[in-house]
A and B are shown apart, each in its own frame.
Chain A
Amino acid sequence: MNQLWEAVLWCLDPAQWTGPSGIAARSLEHLGYTLLAVVIAAAIAVPIGWWVGHTGRGRGAAVALSGAARALPTLGVLTLTALLLGIGLAGPMTAFVILAVPSILAAAYAGFEAVDRRVIDAARAQGYTGAQVLWQIEVPLGLPVLVGGLRSAALQVVATATLAAYVGAGGLGRYLFLGLKTQDYAMMLGSSLLVVALALVLDGVFALAGRAAVPRGVTVARRGVNA
């Protein structure tokens, strides 16, 4: 309990917040890495996921690949990529993207699969082309599930981005490693609390985004069913 209190005091100490290695700068760095990793992962995983969901092809491979990628230990990937690419951000960023891709990929095709087949059949009967089905039906209706995938990817990456400090790229992990190695457990626990706080903020933002992503027609329909 005492250590927890010291950790809270460490987080609140104004002297720790300023400067190039202060909490404010490190938190921004940490958040920046998280968002960058999710954006890159989304750029890779969303098109593939949509293609899988729209065509129904390659589903088995997508499941197997993303399952295997989930099992990759991030510290191992990070060490391997950093040994190839050198120290700095490239190694850890590659590892974070690999971490984030599976959730987003799965959410992208699962979102399409969740669309009621009758809606798609109805659209086709009205003469919608494949592209129209994709952009006007599957993408908007699958969006809430996709946002859920982005949310879980962001949470995984924000917690794992502490490893960026392993190869000198900074972030909140800087305090975690320094605290661990110098037996400064207030610093170590304090930086963990900051990561938790960042995760909660991100989670809240994605929860709101998820709600906003539900098309109005769907909410109306649901309310109609519930009433």
Chain B
Amino acid sequence: MRAAPLFTEAEWDFATLDRAYKAIEEIAREELKLDVYPNQIEVISSEQMLDAYSSLAMPLMYNHWSFGKLFAREETLYRSGYSALAYEIVINSNPCISYLLEENTMPMQALVIAHAAFGHNHFFKNNYLFRQWTNAEGILDYLAFAKGYVAACDERYGRDEVEAILDSAHALMDQGVFRYSRPPRPSRERVLEKHRKRREYEAEAYSELWRTLPAGIEPPSAPPIPDPEDDDGEMKLPEENLLYFLEKHSPALKAWQRETLRIVRTLAQYFYPQKQTKVMNEGCATFVHHAIMNRLYDKGYITEGALLEFLHSHTSVVYQPEFDDKRYSGINPYALGYGMMADLKRICEAPTPEDRDWFPAFAGNADYMAVLKDAWANYRDESFIEQFLSPKLIRDFRLFALHDKAEDAAYSVSAIHNEDGYRAVRSSLAKQYDIGIAEANIQVVAADLKADRRLVLQHRMHRGIPLHEKTKNLVLAHVERLWGHDVGLEEIEAG
């Protein structure tokens, strides 16, 4: 039985949004059995969307000139029509906040709700990386603390000082995460309690007298607040988290500077899972919105016109230009992610002998949602591709692998989409998404605190690829600022 359509016009209002949300929620919860954080959906204008863009898509953020630079660029691109705004932004928090752009038509709003408020939301809540490495409960409180803290430092130590520290910390953001050991995850109360204590101390220790001291003399730094999650302060080498190392051991930093480093590295860690799950995250959201929109149509909740508008937008989102196309700028995570997930569904429902051969564990398994949910929960881009990319999809995308040696004048084609090449293409593509390979692996290997205080970093090269010379020296200058003494960097072959 088909119901009456929820809306027939392109214009939206809050009552219609609410009706659509309820219909979508019913499908998401009852039929797809998605498990999501409570939703908080906010409608914003295009200016506010630009604002949100330039604070790393977070609702609040400390102030720094680099966000202003980002804003200036985005605004110029947007105003001159080079780039359209995203339809939505979604934040990994509990409740899960999604922003809808006010200019969207009603069918687009429905699509965006399905995509962000259910697709991304389910992924955030269930994927192991997000569960282990980020703290959706506490992030907004933490950001509020960070913003306040940086502003207070601005006030007290001067903007230039604070910006200098943030500049240096930002330069090391990629090296400011724990990759292998899971960071301790303090409960929200403990986090808040700690912030309260810190602030209290700051307030107590503040004295008008300090302002009368001649320049160069610093008020005594904060006594170490006993912190059960921290280790005993002993140096453990090698250390992959440069920001952590500098925060704990740099001889040059004052208490507030250490706290600032800590803020930046907390953010880096928060964004770390997103970097590793672009394909899966977008794939999951796209798959979910596709399923939901089609179900809405089946049930009669949306008109044919709305379905067509949705399909138009959907197909352009998952379009993959070929490598020699002018529009090509890498593999489109929406296309690959959605393609793989739709393909998984096909393998479950209508497997070919080839599929049974490659995926005996679940080919023909009628419950494709169980397979997908397992994938969403337990994989990241690299392992997901290594595990689930099917020969059919490799053929569909006409993927081929190239081998590139820096000294050669030509790339050589090492594998293509044929029987001999599937596995090679697949693992080559998977490696492309391995952040451990795509990003420089830099470790602190030695720090002589007793003698000349020289800090030694090591770049463990993967397959002999060196660091970019110019940026390397610029970043090292930042490390030197944070360390306060000589810093050296050696590049070795990690084998």
A binds B: no
Which residues on A are within 8 Å of B, measured CB to CB?
Answer: none
